[in-house]
Structure 1
């Protein structure tokens, strides 16, 4: 992509405004917390203390709107505490330019590197740097620094207290994540009716797993319906795929296929009903037609072999999902709402073949470490990034530090006054990837023009006093909270106006024109954009490495599944589960990298866009085949398939060598897997699923090689 086109695309994305669902109650609570803090400190300690507390309460509320599974009060307290500490140090060093620049460089570098710990930490750390740039310009003395830091902390504390005292839709984010996962599987079941090999995006399941990781205290208070449904959703997906796929499931046409379509449609309706119940905390309203379709006694006579086993497991899992979605409610269906399954599937496998139901297994919660316990883990992660010279987060930290320091120095020496607007704009728009940095820079500039112009015009025309300025600032903050998810440019309009009104309460910026403010914001944005062009961290050259990582993860997952056909251990296989999670993480990393690379002004360097698309589809098919085989893992004590052990070793060896070839821009060769299939001697009992799955895996690997074949010269 050329630079001109890349700038056009990033500009469009930065100025994009979306019609997302608004959350007025959350915005009202955050605005009330800000108003309470600002008005109280103004009445008790004057306008300067009110401004300091306003920044603390404002930033703490912003932190609670970030996508994080941590409790919202913790986010508010963490934001208020860190901002108070950094502001206190900034007050002490603010009178000495060199000392302040040194501290500013350290803060900014740590903030830039903290993106490696996650976007929520990165946003809070970057916002702290931005707020410090503003607050240290407020007139104060060293003895008063602790007082100002204290009222900043007070702002965060009040926001946290309001969340505790006035909870809104408790566990709402976790409910939405789990409901989204079940709804995604419902949609998947419906798509399988028409396309037996339809793809499935694992992102909703991964989000549900992240949401299910709770602290020890949360685990004791979490609603019962959020305990086990996620694990059931994980087990339903491969069953749905194995039931629909002609390779290991029902025949492509005929009575079996018709019956499978009915079961998939019924499964989709029941999963949707469970998703609605979990999202709203209500009893499950089962669609009678779907229940009747699952109870039809014809299934046992129509389906046989693997399809019948999959249908039996699907009925049991759906039963558990419904029971888990609304436990202990009078309107919930009685235990085993499909009570006639034993009659429907008379010729089903013996009980030991069945998957344990929800009532037989107590899900073990995934425990999230407390905030103090995260310190050593975070330190190790940051140390790892420092050791990697090519780390995009390290390069981002170096970039943003240089830009903020240079911007601050230029702002100090330019004849505009209040030069912090330049580094403030830079630190708020800079992100570790190109598209977000450039898009946010454009949005920041456009939003600042509008926000500062309107706010300054109001100040000039009305000459508001301190009470009215505080009121206008609170109104702007409330609108920003309300419209935060509609687009970055909308938020910037409100933030720019908020800062103008707030600083106007202490007489700041009275003589500074709109023209000068806009110029400083433009300077900060240009410095941010120029820094990425001079010292980039392009994702495009790393696409082959991401693809190789995904190939290794898929190979280990497939090998782990195949190995358990040689050593049957049932469906509870921790190594298979971990390999599946690694494969999903690699897939998401590939998809995010590919999306970032799509807008970069860099040539593909050996991996064209079409080749990347085809290679991604091939690896997705390999993961899907592994999932099909996982759905039919033999129970403990079943007859082993010795040849499967050799196939598992061949898969590990071939995919590791293939990943090396991908990184070196060569075409992978799957000789070990091919030779293993040619030598397949049927030791023990030949298994239709593993043998057919092995051939499909080889087909997927061949498709990957075809996708990576160099294009013939034109």
Structure 2
């Protein structure tokens, strides 16, 4: 992509306003907390302290809007406290330019590194640095600075208290995550009726797992219908795929396929009913036709073998889902004994060592997080010095804009820079016009500031430009509350905001962290994860008890994480003005499809894992070992821009055939694994085939199809 097109795409993304589901009650709660803090501060201490406390309460409320399954009060307290510490230390060094500049560089560098601990921590840390640049100019003495910092903590405490006293949809986000997972599987079941090899995006299941990982305090109050349903939903997906896939199930047409379509339609209806019940906390209402389809005794007469086993297993899992979703009357003692142990999330203080380990792992020059930390530190220092030297006053606007718009990736940095400048123009223009018309005093300015903050809370998920417009108007009214005229803030704010955004964009162009050159590494990581997942599944056939082989569940989660990392990398790379460097978009799309198919084949085999008392298959251990080693070697070949080879897998499969395979599902699945790996090699082989004298191309040695007559069926 050229630079011109990249700039056009990022500008369009930054100026886009999307239609999102608004949360007016949550926005009203945040605005109410801000109003309480401003009102108390104005009454007790005056406009200067009110402005500082307003920034603390404003930032604390924003922290509670960040995506986190952790209790929201903790985020508000952490945000208010960290802002207070930053402001107090900033004031102590503010009278010495070099000393404050050193503190600013240290704080900004740490805020940049904090993105390694996750986007929520990164956003809170970056916002604290930006707001600190404003709040350090308000106090007039050390005692006053301590008082301002204390009021910022009070602002965080007020927002935290409101979250506790007035919860909006308690457990609502967790309900939505689980309901979305069940609804995604319902949609998957319906799509399988028409496309037996339809793809499934595991992101809803991953979000449901994140939501199910709760703190010990949350575990004591979690609603009964949120217990265990996610685990059952995870087990339904491979059963649905196995029931529909003609390679391991029933033929593509005929009486058996018609029966499978009926079961899939009924499963979709049941899963949708369970999703609605969990989302709204109401009883499950199943359509009568779905109940009839699942209860009919004809299934055993029509389906046989693997398809019958999958249908029986599906009915049992759907029953478990309904029992879990329908348990909305509170957990009973029997349910407490049989419910699985919750996935416990560490406490806020216990996260510190994990965050430190994540930061330490990113402390290398090629890391995007480290490069972002260096980049944002240099820009903040340069912006502060330029703002200090320019004859505009309020020089902190430039570094504040830079810190707020810069992110570790190209697209977000450029789109946020455009959105911040556009939003600033709109917000300042509207606020300025209102000030000239109404000439508000202290009280009215405070009320208008609260109104603008409430609008920002309401619209912040619709797009950056809308949120930035509200923030710009909020700051104008808040500073006007302290006695500053709009003519003292508006012109320099617009100019310095533009300067800060341009500095951030230039910094990324000069010191980038492009994702495009790392796509092959991301693809190799996904191949290794998928290979380990497939090997873990195959290994279970050699060790049905599961004691001497890797955990299938852990391997599946690692494969999902690798897939999401690849997809996020592709999304970041698609708007970068960088050449593909060895991995074209077509090759990347083909490789993504193949690796998704590899994971899907492993999932089909997982649906028919042997029971603990079944007879072991020793040859499966050799195939699992070959899969594990070959995919690691193939990943190395991908990184080195070579075409991976799979001779070890082919040899292990031939040896397994020589010993006999008792279950055709196992043989078909193993053959499909090899076929998929060969397709990956074809996708990565971009060299033109050699030509014969007559002008026809030569064929690869393995182009004649599977080496075994019982190999995988054509898809």
Q: Give the TM-score normalised by the residue count of structure 2.
A: 0.94
User: Which residues of 2 match residues 38-49 of structure 1 at below 5 A?
Assistant: 38-49=38-49
Paired position in structure 2 for 1:352: none
Paired position in structure 1 for 2:442: 466
1:486 equivalent to 2:462? Answer yes
When structure 1 is superposed on structure 2, of 359-368 and 639-648 the one drifting more is 359-368
User: Which residues of 2 match residues 221-240 of structure 1 at below 5 A?
Assistant: 221-240=221-240
Paired position in structure 2 for 1:655: 631
Paired position in structure 1 for 2:107: 107
CA distance in 2, matches of 1:257, 1:574: 35
Aligned with residue 385 of structure 1, among 353, 362, 366: 362
Paired position in structure 2 for 1:695: 671
Paired position in structure 1 for 2:583: 607
Task: Give yes or no for contact 1:208–1:230 (8 Å, CA) kept in 2.
Answer: yes
CA distance in 2, matches of 1:713, 1:152: 68
1:456-509 deviation line (CA, Å, top 9, x unaligned) = 232233321111110110110011111111111000000000001001111235
Aligned with residue 413 of structure 1, among 389, 399, 407: 389
SS at match of 2:407: coil
1:326-380 deviation line (CA, Å, top 9, x unaligned) = 21649x9xxxxxxxxxxxxxxxxxxxxxxxx999953111111101111111112
CA distance in 1, matches of 2:539, 2:15: 51
Aligned positions, number:
688
CA distance in 2, matches of 1:448, 1:233: 46
Paired position in structure 1 for 2:67: 67
Deviation at 1:711, TM superposition (A): 4.7
CA distance in 1, matches of 2:103, 2:617: 64
Deviation at 1:694, TM superposition (A): 0.9
Paired position in structure 2 for 1:148: 148
CA distance in 2, matches of 1:31, 1:91: 28
Say if 1:32 and 1:359 are closer, same or farther in 2 by CA, change over 3 A. Answer: closer
Task: Give yes or no for contact 2:476–2:490 (8 Å, CA) kept in 1.
Answer: no
Say if 1:107 and 1:158 are closer, same or farther in 2 by CA, change over 3 A. Answer: same
Paired position in structure 2 for 1:427: 403
Paired position in structure 2 for 1:338: none
Task: Give yes or no for contact 1:639–1:685 (8 Å, CA) kept in 2.
Answer: no
CA distance in 1, matches of 2:336, 2:660: 36
Q: Mark the runs of 5 or more structure 2 residues left unpaired by the alignment.
A: 691-715
Paired position in structure 1 for 2:17: 17
SS at match of 2:656: coil
CA distance in 1, matches of 2:118, 2:550: 26
Deviation at 1:680, TM superposition (A): 2.5
Paired position in structure 1 for 2:705: none
1:526-545 deviation line (CA, Å, top 9, x unaligned) = 00000000000000000000
Task: Give yes or no for contact 1:25–1:168 (8 Å, CA) kept in 2.
Answer: yes
Paired position in structure 1 for 2:508: 532
Paired position in structure 2 for 1:369: 346
Paired position in structure 2 for 1:342: none
1:194 equivalent to 2:194? Answer yes
1:589 equivalent to 2:570? Answer no
SS at match of 1:93: helix
Task: Give yes or no for contact 1:114–1:122 (8 Å, CA) kept in 2.
Answer: yes
Task: Give yes or no for contact 1:259–1:302 (8 Å, CA) kept in 2.
Answer: yes
Deviation at 1:686, TM superposition (A): 2.4
User: Which residues of 2 match residues 68-147 of structure 1 at below 5 A?
Assistant: 68-147=68-147
Paired position in structure 2 for 1:344: none
CA distance in 2, matches of 1:399, 1:428: 13
CA distance in 1, matches of 2:329, 2:31: 37
Deviation at 1:139, TM superposition (A): 4.0
Say if 1:120 and 1:573 are closer, same or farther in 2 by CA, change over 3 A. Answer: farther
Paired position in structure 2 for 1:564: 540
When structure 1 is superposed on structure 2, of 675-684 and 248-257 the one drifting more is 675-684
Say if 1:713 and 1:128 are closer, same or farther in 2 by CA, change over 3 A. Answer: farther
CA distance in 2, matches of 1:395, 1:627: 38
CA distance in 1, matches of 2:437, 2:510: 43
1:162 equivalent to 2:139? Answer no
1:693-713 deviation line (CA, Å, top 9, x unaligned) = 111011111111111111549
Paired position in structure 1 for 2:700: none
Paired position in structure 2 for 1:311: 311
Deviation at 1:682, TM superposition (A): 4.6
1:667-695 deviation line (CA, Å, top 9, x unaligned) = 11111111122222453652212211111
Task: Give yes or no for contact 1:324–1:358 (8 Å, CA) kept in 2.
Answer: no
Poorly superposed stretches of 4+, deviation over 6 Å? 357-360, 570-574
Paired position in structure 2 for 1:669: 645
Deviation at 1:570, TM superposition (A): 7.0
Say if 1:262 and 1:530 are closer, same or farther in 2 by CA, change over 3 A. Answer: same
Task: Give yes or no for contact 1:477–1:498 (8 Å, CA) kept in 2.
Answer: yes
User: Which residues of 2 match residues 146-545 of structure 1 at below 5 A?
Assistant: 146-327=146-327, 329=329, 361-386=338-363, 388-508=364-484, 510-512=486-488, 514-545=490-521
CA distance in 2, matches of 1:41, 1:358: 50
CA distance in 2, matches of 1:359, 1:215: 17
1:578 equivalent to 2:557? Answer no
CA distance in 2, matches of 1:364, 1:628: 27
Paired position in structure 2 for 1:28: 28
Say if 1:393 and 1:94 are closer, same or farther in 2 by CA, change over 3 A. Answer: same
Q: Mark the runs of 5 or more structure 1 residues left unpaired by the alignment.
A: 333-356
When structure 1 is superposed on structure 2, of 86-95 and 180-189 the one drifting more is 86-95
Deviation at 1:455, TM superposition (A): 1.2
CA distance in 2, matches of 1:11, 1:576: 44
Deviation at 1:250, TM superposition (A): 1.7
Paired position in structure 1 for 2:695: none
When structure 1 is superposed on structure 2, of 546-555 and 690-699 the one drifting more is 690-699
Deviation at 1:510, TM superposition (A): 4.1
Paired position in structure 2 for 1:55: 55
Say if 1:127 and 1:72 are closer, same or farther in 2 by CA, change over 3 A. Answer: same
Deviation at 1:519, TM superposition (A): 1.1
Say if 1:186 and 1:575 are closer, same or farther in 2 by CA, change over 3 A. Answer: same
SS at match of 1:485: coil
SS at match of 1:486: coil
CA distance in 1, matches of 2:369, 2:428: 32
CA distance in 1, matches of 2:356, 2:142: 31
Say if 1:516 and 1:359 are closer, same or farther in 2 by CA, change over 3 A. Answer: closer
CA distance in 1, matches of 2:480, 2:137: 13
1:125-150 deviation line (CA, Å, top 9, x unaligned) = 00000110111121421111111000
CA distance in 2, matches of 1:463, 1:293: 70
When structure 1 is superposed on structure 2, of 483-492 and 685-694 the one drifting more is 685-694
CA distance in 2, matches of 1:397, 1:713: 46
1:98-126 deviation line (CA, Å, top 9, x unaligned) = 11111111111011110111100000000
Deviation at 1:516, TM superposition (A): 2.8
